[in-house]
Structure 1
Amino acid sequence: MKHQPHLTLVGAGPGDPDLLTLKGAKALRQANVVLYDALIDPRLLHHAPPQALKVYVGKRAGQHRATQGEINQLIVQYAKSHGHVVRLKGGDPFVFGRGQEEAAFARSKGITVDIVPGISSCIAVPELQQVPPTRRGYSESFWVITGTTREGELSADLALAAKSTATVIVLMGMKKAEQIAALFERAGKSALPAMAISKGSTLAEQRAIGTVATLPKLIEARQLPCPGLLVFGEVVRLHPEWDYEAISTAQLKERA
């Protein structure tokens, strides 16, 4: 039986497998092949049929990396040989996920494409800490910025964002927290509330809350692992334990 080549890009959400959408689960149940990333909870693969191929194409430091070109070729190869390929990506596939590149390459090879958006960590992870990106009287807008460009440098948008009154959410910025905080300090915002969340929405979630001036030290002291995101803005004051964390921050500063 000849299979019709087809690709479905599915956003897996921020980490908690229960945050996969119903449409994402439906796509997995209909998959012949699942190509999945490093940060995908393995339990999500149980939605796929037992006979479906599950192929790891993750990109993690210190391990073999499947290049984007290799992933694109695998999508086409498996779609033509097996039919329905589900490309399972963390968060939302179009938010720093290169999903559009994969979809465009598949279409260029005559493969039909569907998109299933995922719950992005940029909103979900702070929200699970009860910190909203916006709230009346605190923030009228929010920026979502990558902490590191493909060249390994800080995004130029960070310096612009630091000067705004918006909430600034930085994805993949944990390792550059000190450099990012320095941009806010140069903008006169040393006392601005700030938060770091590691492995958000999972059982291994950790967080640190302080100010621009203290957040890098808190991250280091608590040895928060990647992946993680940073939140800068007055909305961090809305965290239920803000007062307690402010005391801890002051104590850490005294010991430094």
Structure 2
Amino acid sequence: MTAVLQGEDGLQGPKGEPGRKGNRGRAGNSGLAGESGVPGEPGYSGHRGPRGPPGFKSMTECQLVTYIRDNCACSIGHSECPAYPTELVFGLDMSDGVTPSAFERQRSALLSLLEDINIAESNCPRGARVAVVGFSSYTKYLIRFQDYRQKAQLKEAVQNIALERTSNKPLLGASMRFVGQNVFKHVRAGTMLRKVAVFFSSGRSEEVNDIVTAVMEYRALNIIPAVISLSRAPEIRSSIEVGLSTQ
């Protein structure tokens, strides 16, 4: 048998040219929907827009009264004009200088005033809603506007208000500002609505300048202020007069 010898490997040939582009394959199946992303942080507040043009009244006050009387259920059968709806706030002085007898005078005066007030018992634009706060170095709610719609219940609630013994000084001006900025934020809407704030005072206040500021703020908010003092209070009187006369 003749043996066949294997020859040496030949030299590597030259690199071939690129082949033709293959045919386009079929599109794959759609993937599953991803989960919702985490909500982003709230953006910055936008710029305040330009001031709108001044509004105008479509009715005069007398026309508005006539419209209410003709269309409001609570005025049917009544020929008189509906009373001005009123938001009325009373402030009771509970500071360190108020004795139990002095507080009783305040409460008795408040109950006497309530006797002649027509309390709003529905959403009709008539009658008054009453709120009561107590003040010393701070002010707190005792009765809110929406608490009572029956005079008997309101008077009973006032009768149950007790004097809290404290060493805090009277800050009448701060209390007036609290009422203007907070209590009167929750009033009924209406063209003829009146806002009145009556404060009982022991006759002194530690910050008469705040009373001037409060009265000026009341003028801007169309709130009618009144202070009933249990004793002579020349500083409080002059502060109110300054606030009313300042332009």
> Shorter-chain TM-score: what band?
under 0.3
Task: Flag the structure with higher strand content.
Answer: 1
Which protein shows a greater Rg?
2
Task: Flag the structure with higher helix content.
Answer: 1
Length-normalised TM-score, structure 1: 0.23
Length-normalised TM-score, structure 2: 0.24
